[in-house]
Structure 1
Amino acid sequence: MGVHVNVLNCALRNFPIVKKSTSLFQAVKAMDRYGLDRVLVVDGDLSGILTKWDVAMKLGLPRSLSVSTGRFKVSGFMNSDVKFVSPDASVLDVARVMVKYNIGSVPVVGDHGVEGLVTRWEVLRCSDPLRGLRVSDALKVIPVALKPSDRIVYARKLMVEYDLSYLPVISGDGELMGYITIEEIVRALIDLHDNVEIKYRRKRLETMLVSDYMRYKPLKVSSTTSLLEVYNMMVDKKCRGVVVLSNERVVGIITLKQLVEKIVEKTSVLST
């Protein structure tokens, strides 16, 4: 297969669907059951999409700390401006939509409703333009990294500020220790709302640390590693990012987002 194949040959046909009235935490559980970081919101027609990024952005706001857990509904967190493609679109069409609108998935909508869902994983699985490219061709230089002693609220702040869903965690002397993703931020915030009374949440949030939620054993590559190898590593470990090292120091990251962007860029060059 390649990027010009019909999107339905690659689209997911089994994915979570919720309603606007579904509780937020039930929607997150549905994501976890399917191994996805998003759900489609369907009330008759496609009404929106809810991602873990949406959850982290809104559940971490100060005003959310004083709201009873049971009052959080999908309708208050979802994005109703859904970008979609028709069933006759190609995988490349989907990739271009992802890059243009900075989104991680695109529903396939036909005359009878939603027919599939394409995430960055599906775009990469059905593509081949990564061949011949190296990490240095797609490296995302990050201006910051986290330390285990940093607070979860600070990690969330950096992700918002720099539009990142994956951040390395380093020691005081710059040694790579692990990483944290938007999924860990969501887990921390849900733990807070599930287990802490409203009147204590603000104080507890200030003491929640990256070390409490970070993941260890990050995937590590160099600038000369091939992007195809990077993708295969991600698939093997079911990880959405790798850390790029030079002389044992962090110089950047590669995530699914950078890989899809590179596919669109290379395909555009080849077609001119």
Structure 2
Amino acid sequence: MHEKNAGQNKGERHLMMQGKLNRGPIEFKSRPAERTGAIMAISTTNVVCVPPTMSICDGVSTMTREGFRRLPITDAGSGQLRGIITVSDIVDFMGGGDRYNLVKNKHQGNFLSAINESLRSIMTEQVMTLRENDDIEDAIDLIVNKRHGGAPIIDDESGVVGMVTEHDLLKALFQGQSLLSVEDVMSGSPRVTNPDCSIAAVAQQMNKYHFRRLPVVSDDVLFGIVTATDIMKYIGSGEVFRKIQSGDVSEVTALPIRSIMTGSLQTTTPEKSINDIAREMVQKRIGAFPVTEDARLIGMITEFDLVRTLASR
């Protein structure tokens, strides 16, 4: 059964459904990965950095074009790291949190005016970083324990020399063999939304619960999945500007979330091996899979779930 929490609207509910299968105690049968050594060996080194004077619009376009979920902001002269913009910041700006005040208050709801502000107006200045001589254990601590999806790697002059993400860690850790199944490590009872929920309401949910993705359920059937990247692409692709007329933010955030969902729906099953699902995530560059049983959504498994599990070996 699906249950709605008291006071929740139809676009915000928690799916309360457990898997039916009891697969016994969790066991590992794998060789721990070697984790000592330079973090640069597993990082992405072709990092695009932009100046704080770049407009929000151009920054989002850059992230969309390059397929990035985070964008380091560096001083144009010294190259030193000054801040970072993440896809979650863009969701916040679109109505999810404090950055929305830039649109609502300073620009009186005029989205076209607000999006031409500089990136420094919404960037995070206190950036969590790694050093180029750090080890994989340092990245695990930052991503798993401090719950950051990724971080810039800097040199002694605070210049950005790389980026490490959940995806990079998953590639480094999944090589061993484990007896665990998807059901053993997935997040059950996921919070869901519905296809007619507005972009603004979904942005608020993502910001409130610190999610980057939400399953979309209609009449108890999985309709799709909406991600923070979908919201970012809505701006970065220029689609938002084709829909807006008066410039008011409500014109672009009142649309139903179904109108910006992209990509084909890919799911997995609770009995699938985490070795197989990790391989699919790495090869297809998919950050999460909805988990279904008897055509019903029972959970979500993400890169974070797998990294946390594999790092605990």
Give the TM-score normalised by the residue count of structure 2.
0.77
Shift of 1:237: 2.7
Q: Can you give the 5+ residue segments of structure 1 that lack an aligned partner in the other structure? A: 268-272
User: Closer, same or farther in 2 for the Cα pair 1:131/1:28, shift >3 Å?
Assistant: farther
**Percent identical residues:** 22
Match of 1:41 in 2: 73
SS across alignment from 2:226: strand
Q: Can you give the 5+ residue segments of structure 2 that lack an aligned partner in the other structure? A: 1-32, 104-108
Q: How does 1:1-272 map to 2 (within 5 A)?
A: 2-43=34-75, 44=78, 45-60=80-95, 61=100, 63-64=102-103, 65-67=109-111, 68-69=113-114, 71-112=116-157, 113-128=159-174, 131-132=177-178, 133-172=180-219, 174-188=220-234, 191-192=239-240, 195-198=243-246, 200-206=248-254, 208-215=255-262, 217-264=264-311, 266-267=312-313
User: Closer, same or farther in 2 for the Cα pair 1:74/1:63, shift >3 Å?
Assistant: closer
Letter in 2 for 1:181: T
CA distance in 1, matches of 2:202, 2:267: 21
CA distance in 2, matches of 1:203, 1:39: 27
User: Could you give the per-residue CA deviations for residues 159-181 of structure 1, whole angstroms, max 9, x where no partner exists?
Assistant: 12222111111221x12221110
Shift of 1:243: 0.4
Letter in 2 for 1:81: Q
Which structure would you say has the larger RCO, counting Cα contacts within 8 Å and 6 or more residues apart?
2
Shift of 1:200: 3.9
SS across alignment from 1:168: strand
User: Could you give the per-residue CA deviations for residues 52-109 of structure 1, whole angstroms, max 9, x where no partner exists?
Assistant: 1111112322651325055321101211111112222112210211123221112222
Q: What is the root-mean-square deviation in Å for CA atoms of aligned residues?
A: 2.3
Report if aligned partners of 2:129, 2:153 keep a CA contact under 8 Å in 1. yes
CA distance in 2, matches of 1:197, 1:107: 38
CA distance in 1, matches of 2:167, 2:150: 9
Write 1 or 2 for the structure with the bigger share of helix.
Answer: 1
Q: Pick the structure with greater CA Rg.
A: 2
User: Could you give the per-residue CA deviations for residues 10-41 of structure 1, whole angstroms, max 9, x where no partner exists?
Assistant: 11110110011011121122223322111111
SS across alignment from 2:193: coil
Shift of 1:2: 3.8
Report if aligned partners of 1:130, 1:227 keep a CA contact under 8 Å in 2. no
Shift of 1:241: 0.9
CA distance in 2, matches of 1:6, 1:226: 30
User: Closer, same or farther in 2 for the Cα pair 1:204/1:7, shift >3 Å?
Assistant: closer
Report if aligned partners of 1:47, 1:80 keep a CA contact under 8 Å in 2. yes
User: Could you give the per-residue CA deviations for residues 128-153 of structure 1, whole angstroms, max 9, x where no partner exists?
Assistant: 37631321232112443222122112
Moved more, 112-121 or 240-249: 112-121
Give the TM-score normalised by the residue count of structure 1.
0.87
SS across alignment from 1:27: helix
